Structure 1
């Protein structure tokens, strides 16, 4: 049994905004939520994420462990 007058007010129809646009409606303890990133504009979910190879780290790893894409394809 829940104690009286100790729980925050629940807003069943809290609006979520990103860049001033209404994105979705959820349940929350706040009536409005303002977010910077959500699944609709995050690079991972939109498919625009790129792996940056700074200073040839991938090539160094491949050389260190003698992993060559041509050798692995021939086996």
Structure 2
């Protein structure tokens, strides 16, 4: 095996708010902390799997320009709410 072909991996702590991920990485930092007798570089991250809305289930659809509605109209698709409303109207008309 050739020497110096692989990067140097270091013990690292990625810190996202209160959550910490202890792993190995090529990244380094000026901040260090000792865990189980081993010095780890501490690297703050803004978004990780602990805080990203997709992974936390707090994802929201932001549609400020009505793009979803335009798409639905263009392809003659209806949303679940519209289907339920149409079903309720159909039941009322059947009673008459």
Range of TM-score over shorter length: 0.5 to 0.7
Q: Deviations over 1:20-45 (max 9, x none)?
A: x4611111123332211100011111
1:68 to 50, 53, 78: 78
The SS at the match of 1:26 is: strand
Alignment TM-score, normalising by the size of structure 2:
0.55
Name which one, 1 or 2, has greater alpha-carbon Rg. Answer: 2
Matched residue, 2:65 = 55
Quote the RMSD (CA, aligned, Å).
Answer: 2.5
Question: Which stretches of structure 1, 4 residues or longer, exceed 6 Å deviation after superposition?
Answer: none
Q: Which runs of 5+ in 2 are unaligned?
A: 29-40, 88-96
Alignment of 1:22-37 (within 5 A): 23-29=20-26, 30=28, 31-37=41-47
Q: Which runs of 5+ in 1 are unaligned?
A: none
